[in-house]
Amino acid sequence: MNLKPIVAKLIAGCCLLMGVTSDAIAQKIIPVDSSKAQILRIDPSNAMGGNASDFFTEVNYIPLETTEQSLFGSISKLVVTDNYFIILDHNTHSILIFNKNGKFHTKIKGTDSAPIWDFSVNRFTKEIRYSKDQYKTFTFCDYNGKEMRTFKSGGDLAKDEVNDGNMRYFAPGKGVSYSFPHSIDSTSKFYKTYSKSLIMFANEKNKVYAQGLGFDEREGKDLNIITSGGTWFFNTVSDTAFYYSKPYSFNIYTIRPDAIALSYKLVFPFYVALPGDFTTNPDYKKKQIEYIEKHPKTIYGIANFYQVKENLIFKAGSWNIYEEDNLIYNLRSGTLIAYKHILQDEKSYFLPIYDNSNWGNTFNNTGILACADGYIYTSASSLGMFQYHEKYADQKAKYPPALDEYFRKGSRKDNPVIMQLKLKDNL
């Protein structure tokens, strides 16, 4: 006798009696494994500096071709694939694709009335997913910008669907998305079956099939979150693993298919640490950003977190952009390096390691943009590149052919330049 249909009906009946939908039951709850978490004590005031040759084995500059079609403002987001740089530019509301040598490939154009705010890359199907209508419709295109298919989102009222423009993919049809602590009101028409979790596992049509990483309901009560300035709380570790950190938290989680692990707990000195009850104490209700403004050296969260072998690269965000916020920590030696204290030398052709030429388009705003194949990536404006080129002309640096052509034929108004850096193993 086949008992499966009977058991299914019994479960469904119990769910109805308890007021729980079958969608909620279908979503598996993924526990957090904290058994292997490493505690790292980090004091930014002890971060060291030095010359580029002290820390990098490679420093490569890749100018992005500037044409009437490819001209853009700054790199808001960078995804590095085997053959392409895929770039989001918030100035033109568009996605631009360049070959790895910097040659312009194609553009997915957005407009002021139909902007592209974010995108996802599915490396398994070699597709880019984006929306031009505030995530009501999602479009999939190939790396040539050719539209492949679309689907309509269920919107805010879809109970089992995450309305997200940026999905990280584990497989052709499976990915993960994240959220911030938010108000939980089970009577609201916008209440979701996964509302009590920060991590949602979903298929390519945003249907959630698993969830995890719950949060204290007090954290979602009028929590003002700082998310601007090129800050990402979710970053790629590999094709099947991603890092996540909550705002106002120093814990780093690794998200894998059907698994969540607490990997690192970063501990900062009292003078830069947030109060332990910052997100739950009613005294800070609706005053989180006000507190951070009044304490500009306080680190309010960890973002842009990457790992290359034994080196952790991350942004320790504070209100004061001139602090040592972009840090490199070596797990083996405990060495802490302040990225902004790394100076140009012959290894970098006396060109900028970080760009401070214009506050609106600088390393301060973006930090490290991506990590792939053992390299870390950031960018410099052409304005900054030409300033350093002229300032250190007496050094007579011998540029690679592509960089030499860039300085001979380009100008300060050209597209940004991608910096590709390889860290030494032993720091």
Three-state SS letters, 153-207:
CCCCCCCCECCCCCCEEEECCEEEEECCCCCCCCCCCCCCCCCCEEEEEEECCCE
Q: How many CA atoms lie within 13 A of 150 on its CB side?
A: 13
Is 261 in contact with 254 (CB distance < 8 Å)? yes
Q: Domain containing 368: what range?
A: 32-423
Instruction: Tell me how long the chain is.
Output: 427
User: Cα Rg for the chain, rounded, in angstroms?
Assistant: 23
In a domain, 149, yes or no: yes
User: What pLDDT score was predicted for residue 13?
Assistant: 40
In a domain, 203, yes or no: yes
In a domain, 25, yes or no: no
β 147-152/168-171 pair status = unpaired
pLDDT in tens, the chain (427 residues): 444 444 333 333 433 333 344 444 468 999 999 999 999 999 999 999 999 999 999 999 999 999 999 999 889 899 999 999 999 998 899 999 999 999 999 999 998 899 999 999 999 999 999 999 988 899 999 999 999 999 998 877 788 998 877 788 989 989 999 888 887 888 888 888 998 999 999 998 889 999 999 988 888 777 777 654 445 677 777 777 899 998 899 999 999 998 999 999 999 999 999 999 998 898 988 888 899 999 999 998 898 899 999 999 999 988 887 777 899 999 999 999 999 999 999 999 999 998 776 554 456 667 888 999 899 999 999 999 999 999 999 999 999 999 999 999 999 999 999 999 999 988 8
Q: Which among 101, 87, 96 has a CA at the least distance from the CA of 68? A: 96
In a domain, 394, yes or no: yes
User: What pLDDT score was predicted for residue 364?
Assistant: 60
In a domain, 217, yes or no: yes
User: What pLDDT score was predicted for residue 21?
Assistant: 40
User: What pLDDT score was predicted for residue 10?
Assistant: 37
Is 360 in contact with 369 (CB distance < 8 Å)? no
CATH number at residue 68: 2.120.10
In a domain, 156, yes or no: yes
Total domains present in the chain: 1
In a domain, 143, yes or no: yes
If you ran DSSP here, which 8-state letter would residue 398 be given?
A: -
In a domain, 54, yes or no: yes
Is 232 in contact with 223 (CB distance < 8 Å)? no
